[in-house]
Structure 1
Amino acid sequence: MRFSIYLNAQTRGPHEDVGIIETLTRQAVEATDAGFDGVVLTEHHFSGYNTYGDNFMYAAHLAPRVREGVKFSLAVAVPPLHNPLRLAQQCNLLDILTRGELIVGFAAGGSPVEYAGMGRDPGERHAQLTQNLDILEAALAKRPDDPPLEWKSAFEHGTLHTRIMPSAYHRAAPPFARATQSDDGARWTGRRGWYLFSAREKPERLAARWRLYEEALRGTALTEAEVRERLDWSMVQKQVYVTASAEGAERETRDRLVLMGESQRRSFGAVRNPRDAEHMKSVVGVSPQAPDAFLEHAMLVGDPDSVRAQIRTYEDAGVRHMGLLFNYGFMDADTSDRSLRLFIDEVLPAFTAGRG
């Protein structure tokens, strides 16, 4: 099992933004210095669910601050919210800035506030995802002497006469991942030879999904070593709270879920379209608005012994990489620091002992 620190802290307003981003930067360095293998950054806008918003820019800031060899995973970039050629350029530039230690994950997103702010229709998000990915891949594959690439998305169009610049670090483009909550999505991802990102699911369900994904990978032209590498870095994301004593951990967590649920309802209410709230359920799976299900599916909560045991169940299910979120639910820096340091001191060594 390997671990990445997943950075996605919520903010209550502009008075918190700077401090949160400074705390996340410090925690990313601390975690990777202590033995975390990677950093995961996500993309959310306008809703307060993600303080930094631009995961490409933040990854570029973090890359020279963490130790060499740390893997950056974007989980995810949302292609329907981007110009596809600018997105292709950002992927390659970030691949260079991370010295080739990058996996770019894609998903359709779906937050009504984010789509409204970017002038997009969330009801068309899946069609726009496929269309923009096709454009992005065609642009990355184009050589300067190829015929011009005419492209058109739902919102823009253009002509690429030369090529995407810069090139990636040591390949045509960085490797890609798909974030999905469905078995069909896992099969699609495996057939393309991409990495699989998932979240908010229990071990037994993930075990079945990982088997479908591996079967699809093995149906491609990938070598055995390449299949193993895809499985090593495919990821499950969890929110974590580690306390010295398990007593009170669940109560504190439920209090945070209430705050997160209220924030989510305000975000959806700002758009005032019931359809948007309904389709969002299909994107995120369980929600903080349903605390029991969220605790069961999306979280690892307890003392170090309990958290170690919970992680073992995912390891037994075939998961080899977990993206762990320690700063969420409007935590103050001291609380998230205590949880992260307990994990580093008393959980991480159980999974890293004996590494060369």
Structure 2
Amino acid sequence: MRFSVFLNARSMAPSEDRKLIQDLTAHATRAAALGFDAIFMPDHHFNGYMPIASDSYMYAAYLAARLPQMHFGFSVTSVPLHHPVRFVERINILDQLTDGKLLIGVGSGTTPEEMIGFGVNYRESGAISENNLAIAEQLWAKRMDDPAVEIDNGPHKGRVLQRIAPAPYTPRHARLMPVAMKEASARRAAENGWPAFIPAFTPPQIGGTEPMKHVAKFFGIYRRMLEEAGHAPEVVADALGWTTHTYQVVHVAETDAQARAELEVILRSYQDAIERENEYNRRAESDDANKKTDRTPNALTDDWIGTWCLYGSPETVIEHLAPYAELGIGNILCGTTTGPLTEERLRLGDQTLRLLSEKVMPAFKPAIPSSVAAE
């Protein structure tokens, strides 16, 4: 089982933005040194939701130069917010810079404020996302002398006469990584031999206290499709090895009691940030074209904690993760900086990195034979 770090911290004022970028860079560097496999970033805009997420591809390129051994993922790119040409160009450049160590999570987005900021009709976001992905495939496949690719998709317009430059490093293009919630998304990942995000809830409910039930259902559907797709064994193994279950908040302490007390401090601060963001989303929803169809529970409820949090002593965390490893989940994505990134929050995040690396990850990674280690 792999372990990856999700950089999902928030800035609460413009004066905090620069320090947040510097602190997240140090946190990512620490994670790489401690043996984590990948750094994942969200794609969000406005309202202080992690300033680097306004162009997480640019930030990933910066980190890639500093941490060349790491994989980089996106959880997830809101496809309707990106012109398909820029979507393909950014991915190709980053694919080249990382020698193909990319995992491009894709989804249709969830936030009305972001939709109206980019001129996207929220009700049409699913269709715009599907069309953008289809256009992206045309752009990736286009040779210099092929007919022009015509783009007319919601706010996105254009006519591409030549090819996209640079060419991708990965044959065809970098791996996309759909959320395996809908059959079409699971099938897209499976038929292409790509990994998937495996959700721990079934809409319209966004939380719950039985996440494993949902993970097992969605993973089972995806794995069956993947194995029926006729890929070579190494393609199946790579896809499963990066198939990801996400925790928005991971917090590890020496004891369960300490972990729970510190978790509640983290979640109270996180919920304050969410309430501020919800105020702007409510303004966005005054436009009937941008009404959400679901509601996220309060982060301090059992439903939200049960779905989105992993916490406890190292022994408790190992016990919790064992069934996921047995099921076949390949990658655990750990939100270690969730919420406003104060000095105390960063200290707690670094504490979690250390305890995961020293006491949890060894339980799920094969030991290196002493003869190999000596070399």
TM-score normalized by the length of structure 1: 0.92
Q: Distance in 1 between matches of 2:270 and 2:181?
A: 21
Q: Deviations 1:124-174 (Å, cap 9, x if unpaired)?
A: 110110011111111111011211222211113221111110001142311
Moved over 6 A (4+): none
Give the RMSD, CA atoms, in angstroms. 2.1
Specify the alignment match of 2:204 in structure 1. Answer: none
Pairing of 1:60-209 with structure 2 (within 5 A): 60-68=61-69, 70-182=70-182, 185-201=185-201, 202-209=211-218
- Per-residue deviation, residues 162-193 of structure 1 (Å, max 9, x unmatched): 11100011423111111244456434432343
Equivalent residue in structure 2 for 1:344, among 331, 334, 357 = 357
Q: 1:259 aligns with which of 262, 265, 269?
A: 269
Q: C-alpha separation between the residues in 1 aligned to 2:13 and 2:199?
A: 27
Instruction: Specify the alignment match of 1:312 in structure 2.
Output: 322
Deviation at residue 255 of structure 1 after TM alignment: 3.6
User: Alignment partner of 1:279: what SS?
Assistant: coil
* Structure-1 residue corresponding to 2:245: 236
SS in 2 for 1:17: helix
Q: What letter is aligned with 1:159? A: R
- Asked if the contact 1:246/1:303 (under 8 Å) is kept, the reply is yes
Q: Distance in 2 between matches of 1:244 and 1:349?
A: 16
Q: How far apart, in 2, do the equivalents of 1:99 and 1:184 lie?
A: 29
- Structure-2 residue corresponding to 1:56: 57
Question: What amino acid is aligned across from residue 63 of structure 2 in structure 1?
Answer: L
2:208 match: none
Aligned partners of 1:180, 1:223: CA distance in 2, in Å? Answer: 21
Q: Is the partner of 2:150 in helix, strand or coil? A: strand
Aligned 8 A contact 2:91 2:174 in 1: yes
Paired-residue identity, % = 29
CA contact (8 A) 2:200 2:215 kept: no
* Cα gap change, 1:248 to 1:170, in 2 (>3 Å): closer
Conservation of the 8 A alpha-carbon contact between 1:75 and 1:179: no
CA contact (8 A) 2:251 2:348 kept: no
Residue matched to 2:24: 24
1:335 aligned to 2:351? no
Structure 2: how far apart are the matches of 1:180 and 1:17?
33
- Conserved? CA contact 1:206–1:317, under 8 Å: no
Amino acid at match of 1:33: A
Query: Aligned in 2, Cα 1:230/1:349: closer, same or farther, shift over 3 Å?
Result: same
Q: TM-score, normalised by structure 2?
A: 0.87
Give the distance between the partners of 1:299 and 1:340, measured in 2 at CA: 15
CA distance in 2, matches of 1:93, 1:287: 38
- Measured after TM superposition, the shift of residue 214 of structure 1 is 1.2
Aligned AA (1:304) = P
- Number of aligned pairs? 351
Residues in 1 aligned to 2:26 and 2:131: alpha-carbon distance in whole angstroms? 38
Cα deviations by residue, 1:175-217 (Å, 9 ceiling, x for unpaired)? 1111244456434432343321134442232122111101111
For residues 199 and 173 of structure 1, what CA distance do their matches in structure 2 show?
A: 25
2:252 is equivalent to residue 227 of structure 1: no
- Report which stretch shifted further, 240-249 or 258-267: 258-267
Unaligned runs of 5+ in 2: 202-210, 370-375
**Structure 1 unpaired stretches of 5+:** none
Aligned to 1:215: 224
Work out whether residues 299 and 305 of structure 2, in 8 Å CA contact, stay in contact via their aligned partners in 1.
Answer: no
Asked if the contact 1:326–1:340 (Cα under 8 Å) also holds between the matched residues in 2, the reply is yes
1:43/1:50 contact within 8 Å kept? no
Amino acid in the other structure paired with 2:229: T
Per mean C-alpha deviation after superposition, the further-off stretch among 242-251 and 72-81 is 242-251
